[in-house]
Amino acid sequence: MKTMLKVLACAVVVVGMAYAENEITTQLYLKAEKGYVNITRNPATLQLDWNGNQVYGPVTYSLTTNWTALARGQIATNGYCVFRHVGTSNVVDVSFDNGTNSHLRLKAGEYQLLRLHPTIDITTVQAKSDAPAQFEVTLLED
């Protein structure tokens, strides 16, 4: 019996004019198949108002095995954040406590859309890789 696993996820951020409604659109699609398991979550689309007016990124970091602090540019209040592992191999770990613990792991080609809590100091968010890797970050002010 052949076992197959397919997992597809998509998070898209589209930014329109400031001070309008529904400037941010996110969409998620998930399909997982393995053995007798077959799960599909059809596109879940959410449109949101964008309170801020600053964007930082996309900025690409060249990561090593050491934790690297991420910058925030002119972002005053955290909003949405997109992390993307641009490389074709290795894994990237993301820490929200100055590199003390790893809280998020991205394999090559994966990306993650997050809404950061306003109290998180983005300078405490750090990333590293198990081998040299390219990591892209985009922040939207809220």
The predicted structure's pLDDT at residue 96: 84
**In CATH, what number does 55-140 get?**
2.60.120.10
pLDDT, one tens digit for every residue, the chain (142 residues): 444 444 444 444 444 444 556 688 888 888 899 999 999 988 778 888 788 888 888 999 998 888 888 887 777 778 888 999 998 888 999 988 888 888 889 999 998 988 888 787 766 788 888 888 899 998 888 8
pLDDT at 14: 44
What is the reported pLDDT for 16? 44
Whether 82 and 69 have beta carbons less than 8 Å apart is answered as no
pTM (predicted TM-score)? 0.75
Q: How far apart are the C-alpha atoms of 100 and 48, rounded to whole Å?
A: 33
Q: What's residue 18's pLDDT?
A: 46
Q: What is the pLDDT of residue 29?
A: 84
Write down the domain spans for the chain: 14-48, 55-140
Token pair for residue 87?
A: 């490389």
Q: What pLDDT is stored for residue 123 in this prediction? A: 66
Looking at residue 115, what is its pLDDT?
85
Residue 113 CB neighbours (<10 A): 19
The C-alpha atoms of residue 116 and residue 81 are separated, in whole angstroms, by: 7
What percent helix, strand, coil does the chain show, rounded to 5? 0, 50, 50
Q: Which residues contact 13 (CB under 8 A, 6 or more apart)?
A: 24, 25, 26, 80, 82, 113, 138, 140
Contacts of 80 (CB under 8 A, 6+ apart): 13, 24, 113, 114, 115, 116, 139, 140, 142
- The pLDDT assigned to 4 comes to 43
